[in-house]
Amino acid sequence: MKSEEHIQFWLEGAAHDLDAAESLFAAGKYDWCLFLGHLVLEKTLKAILVQKQGEKIPPKTHNLVKLAEKSSLELTDDQKIFLDEVNDFNLEIRYPDYKKAFYLHCSREYTTESFTKIKEIYQWLISRITSKA
């Protein structure tokens, strides 16, 4: 697979996951909406990493802050803090000890706020790709 194809693979996966997250939000499945929101950002960051570093296989990590740093993106402190918070969405849905507490925490209001920020960062990340392509 060429680098451009690899970038497209990650971007298509992110777009698909965003669509699924929108459906989950509409269905009131807020915990899973935020879990997929994490994947949207992770896949988009991996596309950026492939583009910037020419790597065909990005590192096998789910840590959004590390992926952003490795991609040499200039993040604001607020963006770093938010990406670190979104990292928790990936972990808390997977492990039984955290899953119930996370589910209870994911009110419509909390999810609306978090999901809106996820979509804003997603669009910002996409602009980093299209402006360099």
Q: Is the dihedral of CA 68, 31, 107, 19 positive or negative?
A: positive
- Give the pLDDT score at 92: 66
Question: From CA 53, how far away is CA 28, in angstroms rounded?
Answer: 39
The whole-model pTM stands at 0.92
Residue 90's CATH number:
1.20.120.330
Give residue 117's domain range: 3-130
Q: Per the structure, how many domains does the chain have?
A: 1
Phi, psi of 94 (to 5 degrees): -85, -30
- Give the pLDDT score at 133: 42
Tens of pLDDT, residue by residue, the chain (133 residues): 788 889 999 999 999 999 999 999 999 999 999 999 999 999 999 999 999 887 678 888 899 999 999 998 999 999 999 999 999 998 767 777 778 888 889 999 999 999 999 999 999 999 998 655 4
